[in-house]
Structure 1
């Protein structure tokens, strides 16, 4: 009888170990699949150093990405004619107002021929808007769809990218807040 109980306990222990190992393997596979899915999206890959650039803001001042070294940056590519871009602007403004001391927003406009300043005023946004006049930065970042947003950490590494409009909560999540 004791031998049967010992055998049952050993068998139960071995089954528990096998189940835990199978769950850990599945979790690792899920993480790898998510990583592959993110890096299959158009644009620069997550994990790369974000290329530095210099653009003019709406006030005509030169702004470089490297000006924000040591800070988290939300780098957003958008256009005035883009409905999803318009949809996310209020959430970006809310994010800027509530968390702008933790994450800098740099919104790169790719359609400078339109009234970008008027659009910003109408939308009530006051975060930095940069103008990509010759599509140099959007080419460097391989922008194929807008909006596209990169979240860059304090070391200048791209930690997340998102294609399409984002909500305030998504911005917080991707920024690690």
Structure 2
């Protein structure tokens, strides 16, 4: 990572932790060439016990996730989002986002208890500090997989609004359609269970 990228990453973290989680404060030029599967990240992912990404096998559907292929964070198969089927939770998060940090343990508890019925997939979004992001997952003992969107390719793609105020939690139905997009953090485990019941029709 160049000194410029390192400085950018530090400023991004400070902004996210002190002023809120607004991706519009983050600009990550693709020319910087952020690598999301370096040997160090692969090793850290394995040491943390984070699961590999699981690509979908279906075709795109109207009202589903956008046609966007994203690399698995820390190594593993790329995931074409439009091919995913639920029931599933897709969580957009970033290292620099304090609310995301608070939400990750809730998602991990859900994944540990119900991931066989409703998998969780993270999306590390607009996040130039990949080392910090992987360390955060390890610190929170989050074992659900994440893909990476360091340049914000998902921004403003349907079904997402203009992505502001991370985190976002996307509820994906069995037929591949998005039933709900929740902006802001889930603040309790029971809230998450209630949202899954309401928007995916699954009482856990």
TM range (shorter): 0.5 to 0.7
Measured in 2, the distance between the counterparts of 1:107 and 1:118 equals 15
Which residue number in structure 1 is paired with residue 167 of structure 2? 147
RMSD: 1.9
List per-residue Cα deviations over 1:81-111 (Å, max 9, x = no partner): 2111111111000000011011121111114
Aligned to 2:70: 55
Contact 1:160 / 1:174 at 8 angstroms: preserved in 2? no
Higher strand share: 1
Q: Secondary structure at the match of 2:108?
A: helix
Which of 112, 115, 138 is 2:155 aligned to? 138
Structure 1 unaligned blocks of 5 or more: 1-46
Tell me what 1:119 maps to: 136
Comparing both structures, which one devotes a greater share of its residues to helix? 1
* Structure 2: gaps of 5 or more residues: 1-61, 198-202
Greater gyration radius: 1
Question: What aligned pairs does 1:81-92 form with structure 2 within 5 A after superposition?
Answer: 81-92=96-107
Matched, 1:106 2:126: no
1:160 aligns with 180
2:192 equivalent to 1:171 = yes
In the TM superposition, 1:28-107 aligns within 5 A as 48-61=63-76, 62-69=78-85, 71-107=86-122
The aligned length equals 130
Q: Is 2:96–2:127's contact at 8 Å kept on the other side of the alignment?
A: no
Distance 2:117 2:90 in 1: 14
Instruction: Give the Å deviation of 1:112.
Output: 3.2
Residues 100-153 of structure 1: per-residue CA shift (max 9 Å, x gap): 011121111114321221111111101011110221123422312201111010
CA contact (8 A) 2:91 2:167 kept: yes
Distance 1:68 1:74 in 2: 11
Distance 1:111 1:118 in 2: 17
- Aligned partners of 1:105 and 1:149: how far apart in 2? 10
TM-score of the two chains, using structure 1 as the length reference: 0.66
TM-score by length of 2: 0.58
